[in-house]
Amino acid sequence: MATLLNPYLSFGGDARQALEFYQDVFGGSLSLNTFGESGHADAPVAEQIMHGMLQTPGGLTLMGADTPPGTTHTPGSSFSVCLSGEDAAELRGYWQKLSTGGTVAVPLEKQMWGDEFGMCTDAFGVSWMVNINGSQEG
């Protein structure tokens, strides 16, 4: 699998409706995971989307989620660029370069879903997410 670069959109509680709308526009397969499914079943945000991914027959990938508890949703600046794939060495190299001189919000490390994941803002103010599928060492 090649490394993918795609937009990751943030929403203020209406990610499900937005991603279903984009599915209607672009077609394709939509997968949605809620905060409740990932260990926050009793939280007020249990039914909100922790991660959603739309993959279209034409090769488009769009990801999105509701803003996690404790963070602020700012419409108009609510997006990140997401790099994902299986080439751990390549993705760690991108992470190292993107995070140098920037701010790390989530260190690149293994997450509860089994992948390595990190979030940073580069020196130019662009928000990045890096996800290494399957947490492969390398």
DSSP string, 29-72: EEEEEETGGGT-TTSTTTTSEEEEEEE-TTS-EEEEEEPPTTS-
> How many domains is the chain built from?
2
> pLDDT tens for residues 117-126?
999 998 878 8
The domain in which residue 115 lies consists of 86-138
Can you give the CATH number for the domain in which 30 is found? 3.10.180.10
CA atoms within 13 A on the CB side of 8: 21
Question: Biggest alpha carbon distance in the chain?
Answer: 40
**Residue 65 shares a structural domain with residue 91:** no
Structure tokens at 27: 């077609």
In-domain check, residue 100: yes
Give the pLDDT confidence of 64-103 residue by residue, as tens digits.
999 887 888 877 777 889 999 999 999 999 999 999 999 9
Model pLDDT for residues 124-137, shown as the tens digit of each residue? 788 899 999 985 44
Query: 55 in a domain, yes or no?
Result: yes
Report the predicted TM-score, pTM, of the whole model to 2 decimal places: 0.71
Tell me the average pLDDT of the chain.
Answer: 89
Neighbours of 113 (CB within 10 A): 12
